[in-house]
Amino acid sequence: MVKIITGNKGSGKTKILIDMINTASKNTDGYVVCIDKSTKLRYDIPHSVRIVDTDASRIYSYEAFFGLVAGLVAGNYDIKNIFVDSILKVGGADFDALGAMLAKIDKLTGDEVEVVFTVSADKADLPESVSKYSIK
């Protein structure tokens, strides 16, 4: 299941994401994974949450990002939540490519894994292929 938190830079998306990560880590019966372009969230989330740094893994496109998520899910069936901060920093502002990747991840994870992204853009500026996943 894919969800996105939208809003312009400075609108509090990462704070909402951190709160969701902390809640999930307390309530899950599986693993929680946080994917970010760095490890800057390491001090804001519990040590039980696994952090994946896309820069260290050399993930620079939506195709590579999908491969990362597919590998994580295939390698560990106990993952229940994946949180992704600043997805546009990974794949760029190609919203059509983002929408295609979100659809692939949604199909891959189904109802088994909740995947939450932050997207630094106003919901009104996003195509339907992306905005349909919006929770904010």
Classify residue 38 by burial, with Cβ atoms within 10 Å: 0-12, 13-18, 19+. middle
pLDDT band at 132 (very low <50, low <70, confident <90, very high): very high
- Residue 136 clears pLDDT 80, i.e. is over it: no
Mean pLDDT value across residues 76-83: 96
Q: In whole angstroms, how far apart are CA 5 and each of 17, 77, 81, 87, 126?
A: 8, 25, 15, 11, 12
Question: For 29-61, what is each residue's pLDDT tens digit?
Answer: 999 999 998 878 888 999 999 999 999 999 999
Task: Write down the pLDDT at residue 42.
Answer: 86
Q: Please provide the average confidence, as pLDDT, over all residues in the chain.
A: 95
pTM of the model: 0.94
Question: For 106-127, what is each residue's pLDDT tens digit?
Answer: 999 999 999 999 999 999 999 9
Domains of the chain in sequence order: 2-131 (3.40.50.300)
Q: Give the span between the Cα atoms of 20 and 22, in whole angstroms.
A: 5
